[in-house]
Structure 1
Amino acid sequence: MAGVDNVGQNGLSYVDQLKKLQEQKKPDEVTGKQDLKQEDFLSLLTKQLSQQDPFKPVSNDQMIAQMASFATVDGIGKMNSQFENLNSSMTSNQALQASSLVGRDVLVPGATGVKKDAGSMAAMVKLPQSIDNLIVRVENEVGQLVRTFDVGAKPVGDSRVEWDGKDQNGNALPAGKYKIKASGLMDGKNNEFEVSTYANVNSVLLGKGDGNVLLNLAGFESPVRLAEVLEVGKA
């Protein structure tokens, strides 16, 4: 069985001819892709067989290797298609499971949260070590300090804090966005700690083909990825 010469009569190598063939392929009218299919490789192989130098044939091993590469390319294409289908199925399943979060509170990164009418607002403070006195400050949407209160001693790890929604004089503040800040003495120095806030889930969205499931949160302009949720509140 004759093989395929690495360089055809036109002086182009096998790889160069592949590149030339791909450049000549017209873009798909729908996707705009220029992918070479298995029949393109076979067409090129047939052309090379007809143009090879009969005095310099390539070994059968090289011929078999090229045929094996065709099968590998075709197999990879099918595998990619199967992975896309699997990803779509997993995303739909995640969205179905996430739908149970609608109406529930979730903990998301960020110190800014939303206070409901005549309601309180909860947050989670991450402490790198235990402290004797945790101080919480609450700022309104324009950055004005509206409340400061002491939480007391807290151990290392996550500590839940809750603001009753009132100012320093005990007056209930209107609904809206507020920022929770937490600080305390650690090794003799005042430190600011990482804060996450709770928000209520309004609806669930599928991502734009990227496999992400998004949550629309009450009072938030942009959705949050399900993967970012740190905790789910009790039903």
Structure 2
Amino acid sequence: MADYSPTTAATNSTDYMKAMQQTTNPAASAPENQLDQADFLRLLTTQLQNQDPSDPMDPTQFVTDLTQMSQLEATTKMNESINAMTTSFQSMQTMQAASMIGRNVQVNGGDFSHVEGNDSQFVLNLEQPLEDVKVVISDKNGMVQEIFLDELNAGEEYVTWDGIDEHGNVKGSDVYSVTAYGLDEAGEIEMIDTIVGSRVNSVAVADDSSVTVTLATGEKVAMDQIREISG
């Protein structure tokens, strides 16, 4: 342990004042990195070597700070790893959504994209058995076709429209609407939830990194609302 004397302290003070009076470049003298554990250990060793023997320092608080700093470093590294994983996941989600552009998807709703010459399929989601079930296909001018399904049990039922209207005409490619309903045991009319297909026109990424797709119907839906993807 180094000896302590007033003469040594005075000399060190004089040298310190001279150093403070010299013109320095703050950017050049600033540390490049924050203190790490090795720096803390060096500071602790230096303080112990140069402490005043008549008034020795208590290293307890210093060691406590070092322990806290170790915990902070571990937490920081864990946060960096989590942020990296989150960024990677968001990139994968965006790429996955972009790959759906031009493809057909099924979502909960009533509007669907019909392509002339093709069949359009949708799903009826019944919460209870219904009788006299009717499915009505409409466009902007009104009803196009009505499909009678009679009695259906609870669950999902697939329905196909061949693209022919009630007069036997082939309908062109456009956005159509489907409405389904039936009668319950009490004879009351119950609406039926429908799952329809549409083409994905574009993909958007919001500020919060959530991904939405814009369908050919103009509707915007979140990724988790898509039930099925087809070519």
> Residue 227 of structure 1 aligns with which residue?
224
2:148 counterpart (144, 147, 150)? 150
Identical columns (%): 23
Q: For 1:230, what is the secondary structure of its paired residue?
A: strand
Give the AA of the match of 1:123: F
Closer, same or farther: CA 64–175 of 1 in aligned 2, 3 Å: same
Q: Can you give the 5+ residue segments of structure 1 that lack an aligned partner in the other structure?
A: 1-37, 40-57
Q: Which amino acid aligns with 1:227?
A: D
Which of these two proteins has the greater Rg computed from alpha carbons?
2
Structure 1 pair 112/168, CA: closer, same or farther in 2 (3 Å)? same
Deviations 1:96-140 (A, max 9, x none): 555664554221121111112343322111101233332101222
Partners of 1:177 and 1:87 lie apart in 2 by 37
- Residue 76 of structure 1 and its aligned partner are, at CA, apart by 3.4
**Pair 206,148 (structure 1): closer, same or farther in 2 beyond 3 Å:** closer
Gaps of 5+ in 2: 1-33, 36-57
Q: Distance in 2 between matches of 1:75 and 1:206?
A: 36
Q: TM-score, structure 2 length as denominator? A: 0.61
**Residue 112 of structure 2: aligned partner:** 113
Could you say what the CA RMSD is over the residues aligned between the two structures, in angstroms?
Answer: 3.7
- Note the 1:33-182 alignment, pairs <5 A: 60=60, 67-97=66-96, 101=100, 103-141=102-140, 144-182=142-180
The alpha carbon displacement at 1:160 in A equals 1.3
Deviation at 1:229, TM superposition (A): 1.1
**Against the structure 1 CA distance between its residues 149 and 75, is the aligned structure 2 distance closer, same or farther, given a 3 Å change threshold?**
same
Q: Counterpart in 2 of 1:8?
A: none
| Structure 1 contact 132–154 (Cα < 8 Å) conserved | yes
2: CA distance between counterparts of 1:159 and 1:63?
71
Are residues 176 and 65 of structure 1, via their aligned partners in 2, closer, same or farther at CA, if it must alter by over 3 Å?
A: farther
Give the letter for the 2:156 counterpart.
D
Q: So what's the TM-score if we normalise by structure 1?
A: 0.61
Distance in 1, matches of 2:89 and 2:137, equals 40
Change (3 A) 1:159 1:83: same
